[in-house]
Amino acid sequence: APQARQDEASVQRADSLGLTRRMRRNRKADWSRRLVRETVLTTNDLIWPLFLIDSSQARSAIAWMPGVDRLNIEEAVRQAAHAASLGIPAIAPFPFVEKSLRDATATEALNTRNLMCRAVRAIKAEVPQIGIICDAALDPYTSHGHDGVMEGERILNDASVHILTQQALALADAGADVIAPSDMMDGRVAAIRAALDASGHEEVQIMAYAAKYASAYYGPFRDAIGTNATLIGDKRTYQMDPANSDEAIAEVALDLEEGADMVMIKPGLPYLDIIARVKDHFRVPTFAYQVSGEYAMIMAASLNGWLDGDKAMLESLTAFKRAGADGVLTYFAPRVAEILRAGA
């Protein structure tokens, strides 16, 4: 007992360790923490992915993404206007395509009156100030759920690129500001760039899903666009092996050579090392996609009372910025923008 009393006394003596540097001094008050903060998340960092559906009803719930609904075109226009009023720079719409419109060669992807093209036209007309980023990939339109076309069990590269290029042109004609090839076929960025330039779309940007991994975290997205049940096999012959990092550098280098204006890493949080490496190496606009599975994890834990959802959301988004991302695609975008506007 006397020994314990002596220890307490020495702990209380402020200069007992003789430290010249105390890291905690800068953390002592809110004003000081704000002053030394290295990374700041702003609304300008947000891209909002949203889901479209051809329906007379404004919204339909997505079971695996609580809080996210598929929107019909009128509702998507309203929500795009809301996003713009919050200061969100861009949206990234994805279509749920009727099963009857899907086939082996993604014919509907080239229909200039398809859901995506109609939505892009409507949003451009009503909310011209928001950027529209459109995926080039065939999976919403194929009966087999792959991003390209198949021959037997193989996903054909060059034939897929040919269709993706036409898809990109249809989207650009409809008013897409950015084409985002998410298919991971080789050579698609060069082919899309050439086709855009040849058709008067020199100003349309390309945001390449440069390092896109074959990930388990896309599950809820496939529920949202209705490809979960239809996907044959997996995407490992075109999406990257989660074990690889040097390969991401090679992918990004190729996409930049081929004309990408911006690159993206996907998924997000499990791949912060890739984001940091890519940003350090290339110093180009680099984006992260906080994918559907990441959203679902935070929401599920939050709805169970196991995590403070808003805090986990803001911490994860700040982590992307700290790693070097210039912006993040996140389903939380409107929620974050509202919190930031309120001055959290």
Q: Where are the beta strands (DSSP E) in the chain?
A: 46-53, 59-61, 69-71, 90-96, 131-136, 150-151, 154-155, 178-181, 205-212, 262-266, 286-290, 327-330
Backbone angles phi, psi at 49, to 5 degrees: -80, 135
Contact residues toward ligand PBG (CB under 6 A) are 135, 137, 139, 147, 182, 218, 221-222, 235, 291-292
Q: Which residue is nearest to ligand PBG (CB)?
A: 221
For ligand PBG, the closer of residues 75 and 147 by Cβ is: 147
Q: Provide the minimum distance between the beta carbon of 119 and ligand PBG in the complex, in angstroms, as a whole number.
A: 16
For residue 229 the two structure tokens come to: 């049940």
For ligand PBG, the closer of residues 62 and 73 by Cβ is: 62
Q: Provide the minimum distance between the beta carbon of 338 and ligand PBG in the complex, in angstroms, as a whole number.
A: 21
Does the annotation count 321 as an active-site position? Answer: no
Q: Provide the minimum distance between the beta carbon of 167 and ligand PBG in the complex, in angstroms, as a whole number.
A: 12
End-to-end CA distance of the chain: 48
Could you tell me if 226 and 97 are in contact, meaning their C-beta atoms sit under 8 angstroms apart? yes
Would you call 198 exposed, middle or buried from its count of C-beta atoms within 10 A (0-12, 13-18, 19+)? Answer: exposed
Q: Provide the minimum distance between the beta carbon of 188 and ligand PBG in the complex, in angstroms, as a whole number.
A: 12
Report how far residue 170's alpha carbon sits from residue 341's, in angstroms, rounded to the nearest whole number. 36
For ligand PBG, the closer of residues 267 and 324 by Cβ is: 267
For ligand PBG, the closer of residues 78 and 222 by Cβ is: 222
Q: Taking each helix axis from N to C terminus, what angle separates 333-341 and 309-323, rounded to the nearest 10 degrees?
A: 90
Q: Provide the minimum distance between the beta carbon of 179 and ligand PBG in the complex, in angstroms, as a whole number.
A: 13
Q: Provide the minimum distance between the beta carbon of 135 and ligand PBG in the complex, in angstroms, as a whole number.
A: 5
Catalytic one among 235, 266, 279, 321? Answer: 266
80: left (phi over 0), alpha (psi -120 to 50) or beta: alpha
Q: How many residues does the chain have?
A: 344
251 is in an annotated binding site: yes
Does the annotation count 124 as an active-site position? Answer: no
For ligand PBG, the closer of residues 238 and 282 by Cβ is: 238
Catalytic one among 28, 124, 212, 321? Answer: 212
For ligand PBG, the closer of residues 221 and 332 by Cβ is: 221
For residue 11 the two structure tokens come to: 């702990």
Sign of CA dihedral 65, 66, 72, 78: negative
DSSP string, 228-277: TTT--S-STTTSBPTT-SHHHHHHHHHHHHTT-SEEEEES-GGGHHHHHH
For residue 254 the two structure tokens come to: 């190729």
Binding site residue list: 251
Report the binding-site residues for Mg(2+). 251
Residues known to be catalytic: 212, 266
